[in-house]
Amino acid sequence: MAMTAAQEAAFKAGSGNVEPNLLHLLCLGLLIGFLFFWAAWAIVDVYSGWSNQRLKEGAMGKAVVRSVLLLVVSIWMFCS
Protein backbone atom coordinates (compact mmCIF):
# COMPACT_ATOMS: atom_id res chain seq x y z
CA MET A 1 0.00 0.00 0.00
CA ALA A 2 1.53 3.29 -1.08
CA MET A 3 1.64 6.31 1.19
CA THR A 4 -0.45 9.34 0.41
CA ALA A 5 1.20 12.70 -0.17
CA ALA A 6 0.24 13.84 3.33
CA GLN A 7 1.70 10.70 4.90
CA GLU A 8 4.92 11.05 2.93
CA ALA A 9 5.25 14.70 3.96
CA ALA A 10 4.67 13.78 7.59
CA PHE A 11 7.26 11.00 7.36
CA LYS A 12 9.83 13.34 5.85
CA ALA A 13 9.15 15.95 8.53
CA GLY A 14 9.49 13.39 11.31
CA SER A 15 12.61 11.71 9.93
CA GLY A 16 14.65 14.78 9.08
CA ASN A 17 13.78 14.92 5.36
CA VAL A 18 14.76 11.31 4.61
CA GLU A 19 13.00 9.52 1.77
CA PRO A 20 10.97 6.46 2.88
CA ASN A 21 12.51 4.30 0.13
CA LEU A 22 16.03 5.17 1.26
CA LEU A 23 15.27 4.26 4.86
CA HIS A 24 13.64 1.02 3.71
CA LEU A 25 16.76 0.05 1.72
CA LEU A 26 19.01 0.97 4.64
CA CYS A 27 17.05 -1.24 7.04
CA LEU A 28 17.03 -4.14 4.58
CA GLY A 29 20.75 -3.77 3.98
CA LEU A 30 21.47 -3.81 7.71
CA LEU A 31 19.27 -6.86 8.24
CA ILE A 32 20.78 -8.87 5.39
CA GLY A 33 24.31 -7.78 6.35
CA PHE A 34 23.73 -8.88 9.95
CA LEU A 35 22.32 -12.23 8.81
CA PHE A 36 25.29 -12.92 6.54
CA PHE A 37 27.66 -11.96 9.38
CA TRP A 38 25.82 -14.25 11.80
CA ALA A 39 25.78 -17.14 9.31
CA ALA A 40 29.53 -16.78 8.68
CA TRP A 41 30.21 -16.67 12.43
CA ALA A 42 28.05 -19.74 13.05
CA ILE A 43 29.70 -21.76 10.28
CA VAL A 44 33.22 -20.79 11.40
CA ASP A 45 32.35 -21.65 15.00
CA VAL A 46 30.96 -25.06 14.04
CA TYR A 47 33.93 -25.71 11.76
CA SER A 48 36.29 -24.90 14.62
CA GLY A 49 34.55 -27.44 16.83
CA TRP A 50 34.48 -30.00 14.03
CA SER A 51 38.19 -29.58 13.22
CA ASN A 52 39.06 -30.10 16.89
CA GLN A 53 36.99 -33.30 16.78
CA ARG A 54 34.51 -32.02 19.34
CA LEU A 55 31.56 -32.30 16.95
CA LYS A 56 30.41 -35.01 14.60
CA GLU A 57 30.26 -34.50 10.84
CA GLY A 58 26.48 -34.36 10.93
CA ALA A 59 26.55 -31.24 13.09
CA MET A 60 28.64 -29.41 10.49
CA GLY A 61 26.18 -30.26 7.73
CA LYS A 62 23.17 -29.30 9.82
CA ALA A 63 24.70 -25.93 10.72
CA VAL A 64 25.45 -25.11 7.07
CA VAL A 65 21.96 -26.14 5.94
CA ARG A 66 20.30 -24.12 8.71
CA SER A 67 22.38 -21.03 7.96
CA VAL A 68 21.73 -21.18 4.24
CA LEU A 69 18.03 -21.83 4.81
CA LEU A 70 17.81 -18.84 7.17
CA LEU A 71 19.45 -16.60 4.57
CA VAL A 72 17.28 -17.81 1.70
CA VAL A 73 14.01 -17.51 3.63
CA SER A 74 14.93 -14.08 5.02
CA ILE A 75 15.90 -12.73 1.62
CA TRP A 76 12.72 -14.17 0.09
CA MET A 77 10.49 -12.71 2.81
CA PHE A 78 12.03 -9.29 3.30
CA CYS A 79 13.60 -8.42 -0.06
CA SER A 80 10.83 -9.35 -2.43
Q: Write down the pTM of the prediction.
A: 0.80
Distance between CA 42 and CA 40 in Å, rounded?
Answer: 5
- How far is Cα 52 from Cα 73, in angstroms, rounded to an integer? 31
- Residue 64: exposed, middle, or buried by beta-carbon count in 10 A (0-12, 13-18, 19+)? middle
Distance CA(18)–CA(72), nearest Å, equals 29
Give the pLDDT of the chain (80 residues) as one tens digit per residue. Answer: 788 999 999 999 999 999 999 999 999 999 999 999 999 999 999 999 988 988 887 888 899 999 999 999 999 999 88
Contact criterion met (CB below 8 Å) for 76 and 33: no
